[in-house]
A and B are shown apart, each in its own frame.
Chain A
Amino acid sequence: MSSVTPTVGVLLSRVRVEEKLLLEELDKRHIPTRTIDDRELVLDVETKPDLGVDVVLERCIQHSRALYALSVLNTWGVPTVNTFEVADVCGNKLLTTMRLIRDGVPTPRTRIAFTPESAIQAIEELGYPAVLKPLVGSWGRLISKVNDRDAAETILEHKDVLGTYMHSIYYVQEYVPKPGRDIRAFVVGDETIGAIYRSSDHWITNTARGGKATRCPVTPDLNDLCVRAARSVGGGVVAVDVLEGPEGPLVNEVNYTMEFRNSIDTTGVNIPAKVVDFVLEVAARKADQEAS
């Protein structure tokens, strides 16, 4: 494998704790690094982008910017972590669900519908309570637990009237009764490097919504499930959300620009170092391909 130190581009929108830790890790190893602010980026789509880097670590806060930048970069053969494919699949809950189903990874029962009327039917097929989610979105925002028909009709009317067209693609999931927590597992390449429980009295357990992080042991079964989920969406550096359902674990979502600020001390794993290792591997693989 190539031993030349690559120049790493970090594509970002704002420097959060995660980006700062990644930049510090790159600096500590004396890896040449360029930060690329997505607000200033102009990509000439007709020629290979000359960003002066060998590999791009994508850390945009905005899914749409990440998606389209990665599309251009990958089409022109610029290696990225993660890839356009992973961003495309993980950024859309239905595309994620379809990959998981295709690959036999257990996931909550899901329905998709395109009108409020058919969405009611979808909800009632799954039974109350059900969960309505926007196809694109994060941090537990705009996720609704629908407890009865009155609530369903109200939420669907609001989404139909007030939302953009994307809010009229109704993604409905069964509500999975979980033990006051879910699992967030971090996968890098073919390994689950660590995991946390996210506990909350609220049914939404995202740490962005107040969920408390504690260490979750990575058992062989959890590792296997999460690596399968990661491969299913295209592989790379992802965070897999797992629900502990009554009949076994279910993969709920896979996140491709994972946040990990609450998880380094909790897991005892140097997550930024693992991410940087993987970025260097991707760059080395590309360099080897080009040399052969």
Chain B
Amino acid sequence: MPKCPECDADVTVGADAVKGEIVACPDCGAELEVTETAPPSLALAPEAEEDWGE
């Protein structure tokens, strides 16, 4: 099970997760990006920037 890079908690990544998906750390709430799926690995997701949106 991958660890949260922010607080080291175990983070469950669903079997249907895809690369680039965002999950939240259940302990610290950090937004994490799924960088690999087999095996799953996580990185801190980029912070929102000014031109983000719809």
Seen from chain A, the residues whose Cβ lies within 8 Å of a Cβ on chain B are: 12-16, 19-20, 23, 35, 37, 61-64, 91, 134, 136-139, 141, 164, 239, 255-259
Residues of A within 8 A of B21 (CB): 14-15, 20
A63:B22 contact, CB within 8 angstroms:
no
Give every chain A residue within 8 A of B39 (Cβ-Cβ). Answer: none
For chain A, what secondary structure do more than half of its interface residues adopt (helix, strand, loop), or is it mixed? loop
Q: Contact string, B7-24, partner A, CB cutoff 8 A, digits 1/0?
A: 000000000001111100
- Interface Cβ pair total, 8 Å cutoff: 55
Main secondary structure of the interface of B (DSSP, over half): loop
CB<8 Å pairs between A and B, sample of 25: A12-B20, A14-B20, A14-B22, A14-B46, A15-B18, A15-B21, A15-B22, A15-B34, A16-B22, A23-B18, A35-B18, A35-B19, A35-B20, A37-B20, A62-B52, A136-B50, A137-B50, A137-B51, A138-B52, A139-B53, A164-B50, A255-B53, A255-B54, A256-B54, A257-B53
Decide if A62 touches B51 in the complex (CB within 8 Å).
yes
Cβ contacts under 8 Å, B53 to chain A? 61, 63, 137-139, 141, 255, 257
**Complex CA distance for A13 and B48, rounded to whole angstroms:** 12
**Chain B contacts for A91, CB-based, 8 A:** 51
Known: A16-B22, A35-B20. Contact between A138 and B54, CB under 8 A?
yes
Cβ-defined contact, A15 with B52, below 8 A: no
7 interchain residue pairs of minimum CB distance: A138-B53, A255-B54, A15-B20, A63-B51, A15-B21, A64-B51, A138-B54
Residues of A within 8 A of B33 (CB): 14
* Interfacial chain B residues near A164, Cβ < 8 Å: 50
- The distance in angstroms between the C-alpha atoms of A198 and B45, with both chains bound, is 28
* B residues near A23, Cβ cutoff 8 Å: 18
Complex contacts, B20 vs chain A, CB 8 Å: 12-15, 19, 35, 37
Q: CA separation between A139 and B52, bound complex, in Å?
A: 9
Residue of B nearest to A184 (CB): B54
Chain A residues lying within 8 Å of B22, measured Cβ to Cβ, are: 14-16
Proximity string of chain B (30-42) to chain A, C-beta cutoff 8 Å, 1 when within and 0 when not: 0001100000000
The CA-CA distance from A167 to B33 in the complex, in Å, is 31
